[in-house]
Chain A
Amino acid sequence: MAEGGKVVIVGGGGGGAIAANLLAGKFDVTVIDRSEYHYFQPGNLFIAFQGKGPTLYRRRIADLLKPRVDFVRDEVASIDLDEREVVTASGRELNYDRLIIAAGVHLDYSALENHEALLNTFGDYYHTQEMAVKLHESLRGLKSGTFVIAVADPIYKCPPGPLKAAFLSRELLNRMGRSSSVRVVLAVPFPHAYPSKTVSDVVEPELEARGIEVRTIFTADQIDLEGRKIVSLEGEELKFDVATVVPPNEGPKIEIRPDAVRDGSGFLKIDKFTSQVEGYDDAFAIGDCTNAPTSKSGVTAHLQAETVAKRIMGMDARYTGRTNCPIILDGLGTFVISDYEHPPVPVRLSKFKRFMEDLFVAAYWSSIRNPGFWGPVFEAYFRATEPEVLERLGGW
């Protein structure tokens, strides 16, 4: 038994697995996840829009964890923060000295009427790999008409997701010789193509150059599957032949006592710097399931996992709110670089940044399995591209 005590981690995604591997050997670490697999979620875009094979983007959680980490494949039913107890659906009770909740978001496909039917008809690039495969087939079958990418709520994980979907689907359709027969329409609830004006200024000319239509201030509210149209909260209509809508995101579907640690959408209320759950110094929440005022993204989960692991090991680490969300289009890439103190800085599109993003993707599994090895490399990159420094230089 390790000396540090028991650490229970709810969720074996990016954040959970990195925290577990950093603490392995120093603490008795148990990871609980209902899924056998860890999915590299951006991979759904490559499956849906590039026809890549799903197995490229999943690994067994047990294989990603260090040998000294205990993996329990079960669904977490409840967490009692006062009793320091996690209970699984099969009735297993686990006590802890430290808890890390890395349970991700719940995608609510029931909030909009007919959303589930839309999902099952055309597929989706947010839901699962199976649905990403289905969306790929739907697009291959779309000989002419309109492909609509819409968003149902302004708070959703991977903010550049819909933009990437627009660029990559346009690329796919062009490759299939449908550059003039199929329109791609991106409908977003913001005044620009992206929530940040600075980022929008970088991508909007590219959207225009590729003939991708953008409908701003369009919050998908009703889906008429028979009439093939989406109606927005603002009262506008969009006709489609194939469509996909990013569903409202909520906190994880786990009973957590006391309920006061969750906000109105079910997200865990945390200290944005330390990831400590409000009112509990032995419980942390990281990644998409928190109310931290930053992007719900893999980088956030990764950096919060490092922060929490260091804090559990007795160091005074703090997460700055740093984001590094990639936006990719044919041959070019850019990153949304910001933190709690700085809104996104201007980052031009370049071939090099696309190459960097491809490198990040290639190193993903290794960085999850060996976060200690990759830590200093990422740290050097993040230091070199601190928003404050880039802002002073007028961007990157």
Chain B
Amino acid sequence: MVARNLEVGSVRIDEEGAEALVKFVGLLKRLNELGLLDAVSDILSEDVVGGLAGLLLNTGTLKALDNVDRLTGLLGEVDYDSLDRLGDLISAVSSAVTEESKPVGLIGLATSLRDPDIRRGLGFTLNVLKAVGRSLRGAQQD
């Protein structure tokens, strides 16, 4: 049974307030059972909060956060269906970065074109170049 019109110090707590208080005490008991009250109390120390602030508040994050509306707008335009293939592409490029490469001249390039993978890659690159050009044309017209 919830107490009616409880008085705490000079504050008068009505029925609705008392009900909220009882629920709040229940929540506190649960947090205490789980040891979370102790954890939260320890986390709210100058050292931990200061350390967290030092980690999160840096020039890079503040600059990114300042543009968070633009960044999320950009995320909305991503074609998520192409992400899997883009992921494969990124991992393939990453492993190519670690492979040793040799300088190649015009003759070497012509020889390489016999390789079907290089021909497929070239086709893809031309596609990308076309898309980039199209996008630049749009931006210049704006």
Interface size on B, residues (CB 8 A): 19
Closest 7 CB pairs of A and B: A376-B50, A380-B53, A380-B57, A377-B53, A352-B66, A380-B54, A384-B58
A interface, by DSSP: helix, strand, loop or mixed?
helix
Report how far A348 CA is from B44 CA in the complex, Å.
33
Contact B58 A396 (CB under 8 A): no
- Beyond A350-B69, A376-B50, 17 additional contacts (C-beta under 8 Å) are A350-B66, A352-B68, A352-B69, A353-B66, A372-B46, A373-B44, A376-B46, A376-B49, A381-B53, A381-B57, A383-B58, A384-B57, A384-B62, A385-B59, A393-B63, A396-B62, A396-B66
Which of A372, A375, A376, A385 is within 8 Å of B62, CB to CB? A385
B57 partner residues in chain A, CB cutoff 8 A: 377, 380-381, 383-384
Report how far A380 CA is from B51 CA in the complex, Å.
9
Enumerate 20 A-B pairs (CB-CB under 8 Å) in ascending A order: A350-B67, A352-B66, A352-B69, A372-B46, A373-B44, A376-B50, A376-B51, A376-B53, A377-B50, A377-B53, A377-B57, A379-B50, A380-B54, A380-B57, A383-B58, A384-B57, A385-B59, A385-B62, A389-B59, A396-B66
Q: In this complex, what residue of B is CB-closest to A390? A: B59
Q: In this complex, what residue of B is CB-closest to A389? A: B59
A92 within 8 A of B: no
Which of A352, A373, A393, A396 is within 8 Å of B49, CB to CB? A373
B interface, by DSSP: helix, strand, loop or mixed?
helix
How near does chain B come to A109, taking the closest CB pair, in angstroms? 38
Interface size on A, residues (CB 8 A): 20
Q: In this complex, what residue of A is CB-closest to B57? A: A380
Report how far A390 CA is from B62 CA in the complex, Å.
11
Report how far A383 CA is from B49 CA in the complex, Å.
16
A351 within 8 A of B: yes
Report how far A381 CA is from B57 CA in the complex, Å.
6
Q: Which of B44, B46, B57, B69 has the most CB of A within 10 A?
A: B57
Those of B12-71 within 8 Å (CB) of chain A: 44, 46, 49-51, 53-54, 56-59, 61-63, 65-69
Those of A359-396 within 8 Å (CB) of chain B: 372-373, 375-377, 379-381, 383-385, 389-390, 393, 396
Which of B46, B51, B56, B58 is within 8 Å of A375, CB to CB? B46
How near does chain B come to A311, taking the closest CB pair, in angstroms? 20
Given known A-B contacts A381-B57, A384-B59, A373 and B68 have beta carbons under 8 A apart: no
Contact B69 A351 (CB under 8 A): yes
A372 partner residues in chain B, CB cutoff 8 A: 46
Report how far A52 CA is from B70 CA in the complex, Å.
32
Report how far A375 CA is from B50 CA in the complex, Å.
8
Report how far A376 CA is from B67 CA in the complex, Å.
25
